Each structure stands twice: as structure tokens, then as C-alpha cells.
Amino acid sequence: MSTVQGRIRPPRVARTWSRTAAIGLPVLSLLVVIALWWAATIVFGIRTFFLPAPPDIVKSFLTLPNYLMEQAWVTLAETLMGFGLATVGGMLVAVLLSASTVVQRATMPLLVAVNSIPKLALAPLLLLWLGFGQFPRVVMVVLISFFPIVVAGMAGLTSTPAEFNELARSLSASKWQHFVKFRFPWAIPQIFVGLKVAVSLALVGAVVAEFQGTGQGLGYVIVASGTSADTPLAFAAISLLGAVSIALFYLVVAVERRLLPWAKETTG
Amino acid sequence: MIRVDNVSQTFIGRRGAAVEALRNINLQVAEGEFVAAVGRSGCGKSTLLRLIAGLIAPTSGQVSIAGVPVHKPLREVGMMFQSPALLPWRSVLDNVLLPVEIFGWHRANHRQHAHELLDMVGLKDFGKKLPHELSGGMQQRVALCRALIARPRVLLMDEPFSALDALTRAELAVELQRIHMELRATIVFVTHSVQEAVLLADRVAVMTARPGRVREIVSVDIPRPRSFGLNAHMDEVAICTARLHDLLLSNETEPESIPIGRHWAA
């Protein structure tokens, strides 16, 4: 029989262009937004106290660069620790709960309900229960990022296509083989959906925990600069937070792309 | 090779009502024989295949393969489904080798065989591709290689080409005939295409629905290789096709509508 042709990839030039555009266009629109903002502060004569212009923010950052970077590091460390713990714990819980249909049916609605409770409201209580320091802040990060991971993990682990289950049965695959070779790999794209939600929430959790006047982290910097009416400093801290948040999100996306070259094609 | 003795299957449907899927099925498939089961949707032909595969247990009666009663899926039985069911994260080669891994065999001992199988279905250079890079017909070819990797003596195929476009479907049917002639595996092939059944099968079990029963087993005595195109046996093919159509579309209670013995002397 004749050999069959595979799908043809787009030519190299087109791919390079689309890659450049994928990074270049968002950067360009960011620059445009910053330029408009700057122009607005000048045209409408907005006072720095009310809304600082971009150069004021840069100046504010440059007066305390080491301090701000240290505080950013504090926040990042809490976020990563809490997110890591939430990922490991969330996956374990998802695996355990999805092991049996009965357990899953009994717990899934509860999880969704608990997931919808605003965990941020617990921040003052955590301070009361766990005291000052890093621990209550990491706990807050875990609390806020744990449930999206559990819910996504369970959704992924329980949505194995019937044909794969049938295939596994026809090969007499053991429960362990079924999990390792079929269910878990199938769940990974959905787990990443949860991880992407969770990583952004994790940073929010860290910042809100720092709002409790714990003296450390970018959250504290924002609260402190508010009380001293140092708006440019608040904006510098917020910009740093934004940068950290974007970096964390794209870190997860990068890991996802690396691990799952197939997922983009099959799950969209 | 395969014996289905007086097998009945009743499912408990929704609201607890019993649904009789199969009633008193008897079927023997000889070693190396190709038997097709045709019938409308809901006639229990897929259920029959799942029973032979050991995926479900019959309510009564017995299935045996090579003299051994079937209670669970056997390694000497390969299966192919309506969908290719390829694992999207595994390369084509790794998909073909999946049964080897599950059986706990050494991949290295079977890699050569996997390459031979891919070569046989015209996918020689596709081992490293991921399934989504392949067309539907190519994916189903990979599924066939996976079903053959453990050198099964029996191949069970559940409407394997029904999700493909008509031309790819015809192409794959012709290819399956060639592979069957080459490997001489015993094949049970479920389909609702009369053309496919006439091209491929030594015998065709015509099934009727509610409850699923084998209405008649028709022998297809046309020399191989058969083809869909111009060939020396067009008359036999046309008569056989017409007869199967009559059996499938007519009502069983009106025997006069079946032209037994007029054109068909088999």
C-alpha cells in the first residue's frame, strides 16, 4: 500500500512570526496603556498623591530597591511554599476521594461548597489562632489555593473516557496500572487548569495575610504606604506584585507546555 | 476456536426493568475463520463481542476460547473498538507497545515487532508522532497494531471503521482482508455495513433485535482476495449482498419475503 502523508507543519518563517507576535503584541499593548496613563496624569493634571505617573513610581522604587525586593521575596516565598503544599496535598486528597464513586459522590458537593466560602475572611482568625510570623500566612495561601486543585484534580481523575476504561479492562490492567497509565495522565491537563487558578489565588492569599499588620511582605508595604499617604510606594509594591503574579502564572503555563505537548491539540 | 453456547444476556435497565439483550446465541468460529456479525443498532452485536472478550459475563450459557471457558479478558485475544482509543500523550510506537507494558513484558523484546506491524499498515515512519498528528484512518491503523502486538490468536473488532469516512473505510477493510490472509488470526467483526461483511467474512451472522438473536448464518463462498472494485465475482457479491439486505430489512414473521433458493443456492 502507498505510504500516507502526515499533517504538514506551517513553514518556519510563519512559525517564527507567530511566536514573535505572541510575545510582542501583549508587550506593545502594555506600553500603550502605560503611555496613556502617563499622558492622562499630565493632561488632566492629576496629583501624585491621587494617581502617580509612571516615572514617580519608578523613582519611588529606586529610592528603596533593596527593601522592596526583600519584601517581594518574602511574599514570593510564602506563595511558593503554600502553593507547593496545596499542590501536593490537593493532589493526594483528589486521588483518595476519586478512588471510589461513593466517597466521591459524598464529598464532591461539600468540596464545591467549601470552595465557594471566601477563605480571605479567615485571615484575622488565622492571626488569632496561629500568631504572627510566616506560618499563618503560608496557611492562608494553602487554604485559598488548595480547593481549586482538589476540585480540578477530581474532575480530571473522574473524567477518564469510557473507551480508555474499556481498553484497560480488556488488557486486564491492574488498578495501579489503570491509574498510572490511563487516569492520571488523562487528568493532568485539568489539574493544570486548577493549578493556574490556584497560583494566582495563592499570591492573593499571601498579600491579604500580610495586610494583617505583620510587618513583612509586599502586602504590608501597601498597607503601610497607605497610612503614610505614600501612593507612589503603594503603586511600586503593586507593580512588583503584578510582575510576580505574571511570572508565577507563566511559570505554570511553561511547565504545562513542556509536559503536555498533546493537550493543546486535544483539549483546546 | 470460539464457542458460544446458548448464551443469553439480560441487563437491568433504568427503573429496574430487565432488558433482554441476547437470547440463546449459538456460534462457533473455527481457527483462522473470519466471522462478521451484522445487525441494526441495538441488536446486541456489541454485547455479543463483549461477552466473547470476557468484559461481561453472560446471564446464562457459556463462552469458551480454545476449549477454555472465558471468565475474564484473555491475553490471546486482541480487541479493537469503534474509536481508536489511543492515549494522546503517548507516541504511536508507545501506544502500540501499551499491552506489552501492561502484561509486564519487556518492551525491548517487542519493539521490533511493533515496527513491523506499523510497517505492515503503512505507518513505517510515524512511530514518534503523537496521535493527534494522524488522521482518523491512521489512528485506527495504530489501534490495529496495538491489538496485534501481543500476537493474539483471536481478534475481536467492534465496528472498528464506522467512525471513518466512506473511502477510508473501504481502504481499511481491504487492508484488513490482506492482514487476515497474512496472519490467519481468528476474527469476529461486528459491523452494520453489509458491504464490509461481504468483503471480509467467511460467514456472516445476521442478527435481529429485541431480543438479540442470530437469525441466520450466511456463508460467503467468494474466493479471496475480494475487492470492492471490478472483479471476477461481481455476481456472487451482488447476490450475497442482496440476500443479507433482505435478511436484515425484512420482518422475520414474513418468510415469503426472503428469496431463499431462488438466486441463492448456497
Contact A185 B122 (CB under 8 A): no
Q: What integer pLDDT is reported at residue A11 of this predicted model?
A: 63
- Which of B56, B253, B36 lies closest to B156 in space, CA to CA? B36
**Cβ pair A211, A219 in contact under 8 A:** yes
Closest partner residue to A1 among B83, B122, B131, by Cβ?
Answer: B122
Which residues of chain A neighbour B77 with C-beta distances below 8 Å? 170
Residue B183 lies in a domain: no
Residues 54..93 of B with a Cβ closer than 8 Å to A: which? Answer: 55, 72-73, 75, 77, 79, 81, 83, 85, 87-89
Contact A6 B131 (CB under 8 A): no
Residue B93 lies in a domain: no
CA distance B135 to B82: 15
Q: What integer pLDDT is reported at residue A265 of this predicted model?
A: 55
Residue B139 lies in a domain: no
Q: What integer pLDDT is reported at residue A268 of this predicted model?
A: 40
Q: Which domain holds residue B243?
A: 1-76+155-163+189-266
- Give me the interface pTM, i.e. the ipTM: 0.85
Burial A152-180 (b: 16+ CB within 10 A, else e): bbbbbbbebeeebebbbbbbebeeebbbe
B118 at the A interface (CB within 8 A)?
Answer: no
Q: Which residues contact A47 (CB under 8 A, 6 or more apart)?
A: none
Residue B103 lies in a domain: no
Helix boundaries (H) for B135-266: 136-148, 166-183, 194-200, 234-249
B17: domain CATH number? 3.40.50.300
pLDDT band at A228 (very low <50, low <70, confident <90, very high): confident
Contact A262 B101 (CB under 8 A): no
Q: Hey, what amino acid is at B176?
A: L
Cβ pairs bridging A and B (under 8 Å): 71
Distances (CA, A) of A65 to A62, A69, A242: 5, 6, 16
Which residues of chain B neighbour A182 with C-beta distances below 8 Å? 87
Strands B154-158, B213-219: pairing kind = unpaired
Closest partner residue to B87 among A6, A185, A260, by Cβ?
Answer: A185
Residue B109 lies in a domain: no
Mean pLDDT of chain A: 87
DSSP state of B264: B
- What's the number of domains chain B is made of? 1
Residue B122 lies in a domain: no
Residue B137 lies in a domain: no
A159 at the B interface (CB within 8 A)?
Answer: no
Residue B223 lies in a domain: yes
pLDDT for residue B225 is more than 60: yes
- The burial class, CB within 10 Å (0-12 / 13-18 / 19+), for B211 is middle
Which residues of chain B neighbour A160 with C-beta distances below 8 Å? none
Contact B73 A169 (CB under 8 A): yes
Tens of pLDDT, residues A7-22: 555 566 667 778 788 8
Its pTM stands at 0.81
CA distance B173 to B227: 9
Q: How far is CA B110 from the centre of its chain?
A: 25
Q: What integer pLDDT is reported at residue A121 of this predicted model?
A: 82
Cβ atoms < 10 Å from Cβ of B30: 12
- Using a pLDDT cut of 70, give the percent of chain A over it: 93
Tens of pLDDT, residues B85-132: 999 999 999 999 999 999 999 999 999 999 999 998 999 999 999 999
User: Which residues is A154 bridged to in the sheet?
Assistant: none
- Section B44-67 average pLDDT: 92
Number of alpha helices (DSSP H) and beta strands (DSSP E) in chain B: 8, 10
